[in-house]
Amino acid sequence: MRKKILTVAAVLAGVLGLTAVRCDSAESAGTSGGKRSDRKTITVGFSQIGAESGWRTAETKSIRSEAARRGVNLKFSDAQQKQENQIKALGAFIAQKVDAIILAPVVEAGWEPILKQAKAAKIPVILVDRGVNVSDDSLYTTLIASDFVAEGKMAGEWLAGKLNGQGNVVELQGTPGAAPAIDRKKGFAEALEKHPNIKIIKSQTGEFTRAKGKEVMEAFLKGAQGGGTKIDAAYAHNDDMALGAIQAIEEAGLKSGSDVLVVSIDGIKPAFEAMVAGKLNCTVECNPLLGPAAFDAVEAVLAGRPLPKKSVVRDRIFDQSVAKEVIGSREY
Ligand code: AHR
């Protein structure tokens, strides 16, 4: 009985350690607001960004396996990092009259026209992982995501402590225009405001990939070796770029983890392996296992139950001191 009166927000909170930010009814969230149709099988379109990182692969797996577990007919579309492909996929989902859409938007801007089409077709859109910039937030039902500013802050505070308030940092940014790239940069810079002797001497995009992370770090190191400022630490907006940067540091004849400190975000297993090997110093977790929460939200909105406008996934920070003991329990 008690179970029955739990709100959906509370259910989501239980699964992922989510914090509901603001409540809106399904009606005001731009959904049909009606009862779920009598069809036995729900059809859901999922527009994924691509497969740029270990994190992204884990998120895709979580959504696919949760759909299978619940008997949902999932239409999956990989946008290969292109917003235009995501917009096309959403258009196709709308034409196919899916019951709901799950969208992981590559960038924040440019979604209004297609979201208006989804709203007009009364198809609820659940945002996972990244948010969008829209003037009317009834264009989507709910957002389930981490607090990327807080993640950047955690990374910055940890690094400031490790550097004893002094040093030169290079930053590898995520995809330009993407919520985690914007917010992780902001959070990190905010943390460093209290440490005027820590300078971000270079900052460039590595597009969330290992290959680009390596390439950008190589260029940073070349600049330093050619008489530029010494690099004390690298901050990467995700683990994959950090792993690429570690390769570049070692190929330059330096010791990653001591000559150059490396801190990043995601908490994927290879990052824990790099911490155990002493090459990565710290990672801030960003939980990609969003499948259960995403389909709880889909089921709730189709049943006309209210949903919070945003559910924040709680993340933790791990450094080398705990890596060995934690690595065995990592799920992704
Ligand atoms: O939006 C989440 C970010 O996107 C993850 O940190 C990164 O690995 C991914 O590509």
Tell me the CATH number at 49. 3.40.50.2300
Tell me if 147 CB under 6 Å of ligand 1: no
Residue to mutate (ligand 1; options 47, 59, 185, 208; most atoms within 8 A of CB): 208
Containing structural domain, residue 130: 5-146+288-313
Geometric angle at alpha carbon 171, from 168 and 175, rounded to 5° = 170
Examine the domain organization and report whether 164 and 139 are in the same domain: no
One domain, residues 237 and 162: yes
- % of the chain at pLDDT higher than 70: 88
C-beta of 56 in contact with ligand 1 (< 6 A): yes
Confidence of residue 227 (pLDDT cuts 50, 70, 90): confident
Here the tokens at position 177 are: 């225009």
- Give the pLDDT confidence score for residue 40 in this predicted structure: 74
Question: Is the per-residue pLDDT at 269 higher than 90?
Answer: yes
Scanning the structure block, which residue is given the tokens 């990467």? Answer: 236
Burial label for 100, CB within 10 Å (0-12, 13-18, 19+), is buried
Res. 4: pLDDT tops 50: no
Question: Which pLDDT score, from 0 to 100, does residue 296 have?
Answer: 98
Q: From ligand 1's centre to the CA of 225, what distance in Å?
A: 30
How far is the C-alpha of 80 from the C-alpha of 262, rounded, in Å?
A: 28
Distance in angstroms (rounded) separating the CA atoms of residues 194 and 40:
56
309 is written with which tokens?
């406008």
Q: Answer yes or no: is the C-beta of 53 below 6 A from any ligand 1 atom.
A: yes
Give the pLDDT score at 45.
Answer: 98
For residue range 53-74, list pLDDT tens digits in order: 999 999 999 999 999 999 999 9
Instruction: Judge if 205 and 323 occupy the same domain.
Output: yes
For residue 268, the model assigns a pLDDT of 98
Q: What is the mean pLDDT of residues 128-140?
A: 97
Q: How many domains does the chain have?
A: 2
Provide the pLDDT confidence category of residue 29 given band limits of 50, 70 and 90. very low
| 180 and 323 co-located in one domain | yes
182 and 324 together in one domain:
yes
For ligand 1, is residue 44 a contact (CB within 6 Å)?
Answer: no
Q: What is the mean pLDDT of the chain?
A: 91
Using 50, 70 and 90 to split pLDDT, how confident is the model at 192?
A: very high
152 with 104, same domain: the answer is no
Q: Cβ(264) to ligand 1 under 6 A?
A: no
Rounded to 5 degrees, φ, ψ at 206 are -115, 15
The residues pairing with 266 across neighbouring beta strands, listed in sequence order, are 285
- If asked whether residues 223 and 297 sit together in one domain, one would say no
Residues 147-179 have pLDDT tens digits of: 999 999 999 999 999 999 999 999 999 999 999
Atom of ligand 1 nearest to the CA of 54: 8
CA distance linking residue 287 with residue 169, whole number of Å: 26
**54-70 and 239-251 helices, crossing angle to 10°:** 150
| Pocket flag, ligand 1, residue 266 (CB < 6 Å) | yes
User: Which spans in the chain are helix H?
Assistant: 8-16, 54-70, 83-95, 112-120, 148-162, 179-192, 210-225, 239-251, 269-276, 291-302, 320-326
pLDDT digits (tens, 9 = 90+) for 90-128: 999 999 999 999 999 999 999 999 999 999 999 999 999
Query: Which amino acid belongs to residue 159?
Result: L
**Tens digit of each residue's pLDDT (9 = 90 or more) over 72-93:** 999 999 999 999 999 999 999 9
Tell me if 49 sits within 8 A of 79, measured CB to CB. Answer: yes
**Cβ contacts of residue 301 below 8 Å, gap of 6+?**
26, 29, 31, 100, 124, 126, 141, 142, 307
Does 106 lie in the same domain as 15? yes
74 plus 23 within the same structural domain:
yes
Full-model pTM: 0.90
* Beta-strand pair 310-313/18-20: antiparallel
144-179 burial, b at 16+ Cβ within 10 Å, e below that, comes to bbbbbbbbbbbbbbbbbebbeeebbbbbbbbbeebb
pLDDT value, residue 17? 59
pLDDT band at 16 (very low <50, low <70, confident <90, very high): low
pLDDT tier at 211, thresholds 50, 70, 90: very high
Confidence of residue 14 (pLDDT cuts 50, 70, 90): very low
Q: Are residues 62 and 203 in the same domain?
A: no
CB distance 47 to 102 below 8 Å: yes
Q: Is 52 in the pocket of ligand 1 (CB under 6 A)?
A: yes
